[in-house]
Amino acid sequence: MHNVDERWFGVGRSLLEDPAEAGAQACREATAGRQPTLLLVFAALRHSTPAMAEAVHAAAGGDVLMIGCSTAGEFTSDGRGSGVVVTALGGPGFTASVRAIEHDSMDLYEAGVTAASSLDDIDAEHRVVLLLGDGRSGDQQEMVRGAYSVAGAGVPLVGACAADDLTQTGTVSFFSDGTTVRVLPNAVLGAALGSPSPLGVGLAHGWHKIGEPMVVTRSEGGKIYELDGEPALDTYLRRTGGAPDLGDDPGAFLTFAAVRPLGLARRTGEDIRIIFEADPAVRSISGLADTPEGAMVWFMEGDRENVVDAAAVATREAIGELGGDAIGVLVFDCSVRLIALGGDGVDLAGERVRDVLKPVPYSGFFSNGEIVRRANAKGMHHLSVAALAVS
């Protein structure tokens, strides 16, 4: 059935209730009896157990490199769901090396340096570093900066931050450097992948800025206290048409604000900041990434058609970089797009990716921040779709 002389990209999915059974089933489907070079595991939060990680690893033969993380939903060519998705890469020429950095063991910059040092073990014509950030702590751009300091301009960085089903409770990472399996809370993982044939990267979001700009007159890290000299929460709610007391209900505010992000001026467009929290006592709003004082920001608006299409656009761009046929594509899709587009919209986005790729398989997950660092892409992205095409 499979030609063992070729590189392969296998995807398996299971929606079984039991995490370990789901993991084993997904892994068997992905590997189909072949020995993989690298396993990628994406699992729903309730499936993110040590037993699941062990079961996936064992089903692949028990001596294989593995990275993975919890998600806000996974997807493959068969659609999206909440269970376990395993992606396996193997065949002649593929080489891989992995690193795991436990939460708080070092700062995010050093975590990025360590994750990308996996490249030291890989000597191949084409290389990429896959990064899985924790999606919860501080300024994730620092992690990407650390990784770029090692990888340099010659090796693209791509990946995403783990998610927690939008529960804000914490993420889980799965890791194996061969024999032992580790399950780590809020960790940063890196995998260097080498191949004799090209690897392609794509990125798209489909949002654009609207209205008049505002100046961030007071902020600290990701917390914005003042916009245009007024309490940020008041300005934000007035300009977006939100109810003045919306800040008092964290759940309602998250749902409202997640699809009304801010954009920072950049040379080639805008850097999106998702607003996820309000502090009604000090009238501030918070985003996941640093929004510096003195910066000028706009409201960002997503034209539904463009936002739906972003997944297909990113996929097409990644494929386009190959200069040939893909054997599979990894897609990292922002979890907030679920809120912005709703189930139907996300399914439509998936269909379009399928149409672009047919019959090539793809897999991925809904993430808390997408990573692409290469020319014209500075690293951490939000409300975006990142893609890695493998040939």
Partner 1 sequence: MPGWSSLQLTEFFSAITRAGDVAAATRIAVQRAAEATDAELAAVVCGDTVPASVGLGRSPDVALFTGLPAGDDIADFPGLGPMHLTVHPLDRDTGDRILVARAGDAFEPEERQMLQGMARVLGLALRGLRTLETERELRREREREAASRLELLEALERRERLLETLLRVQRMVNPRTPVDETLDAITDGARSLLAEATTALVLRDGATLTVASMSRGTDVRVEVLVAAATQSLAEKAPVADGSVLAAPVKIGEDYAGAFVIAGDGQEILEAFAEQASLALTGAHTLAAVHEAHHDSLTRLPNRKLFLNRVEQVVGADPAALLYLDLDLFKQVNDTLGHSVGDELLRGVADRIRGAIRDSDMAARFGGDEFAVLLEPITGTEQAVEIAQRVIDSISQPFAISGRMVRTRASVGIAYSDGVRTAEELLEDADLAMYRAKRSRPGTCRAYDPRMRTDDLLRAS
Residue numbers at the binding site for partner 1 (CB under 8 A): 113, 145, 148-154, 213, 215, 264-269, 292-296, 375-379
Query: Given the complex with partner 1, which of 179 and 268 has the nearer CB atom?
Result: 268
Query: Given the complex with partner 1, which of 167 and 376 has the nearer CB atom?
Result: 376
Q: How far is the CB of 180 from partner 1 (least distance, A)?
A: 28
* Nearest one of 40, 1, 2 to 329, comparing CA atoms: 40
DSSP 68-106: EEE-S-EEETTEEESSEEEEEEESTT-EEEEEEE-TTSS
Query: Given the complex with partner 1, which of 66 and 295 has the nearer CB atom?
Result: 295
Q: How far is the CB of 160 from partner 1 (least distance, A)?
A: 19
Phi, psi for 115 (deg, rounded to 5): -60, -45
Asked if 341 and 366 touch (Cβ cutoff 8 Å), the reply is no
Query: Given the complex with partner 1, which of 162 and 204 has the nearer CB atom?
Result: 204
State the sign of the Cα–Cα–Cα–Cα dihedral 160, 126, 61, 77: positive
Query: Given the complex with partner 1, which of 98 and 151 has the nearer CB atom?
Result: 151
Query: Given the complex with partner 1, which of 35 and 376 has the nearer CB atom?
Result: 376
Q: How far is the CB of 378 from partner 1 (least distance, A)?
A: 4
Asked if 22 and 341 touch (Cβ cutoff 8 Å), the reply is no
- Report the distance separating Cα 261 and Cα 241, nearest Å: 14
Token code pair at residue 308:
């739906």
Q: How far is the CB of 157 from partner 1 (least distance, A)?
A: 12
Q: How far is the CB of 155 from partner 1 (least distance, A)?
A: 9
* Nearest one of 390, 351, 372 to 382, comparing CA atoms: 372
40 SS3 class: strand
Q: Which helix (H) or strand (E) holds 111?
A: helix 108-116
Q: How far is the CB of 152 from partner 1 (least distance, A)?
A: 4
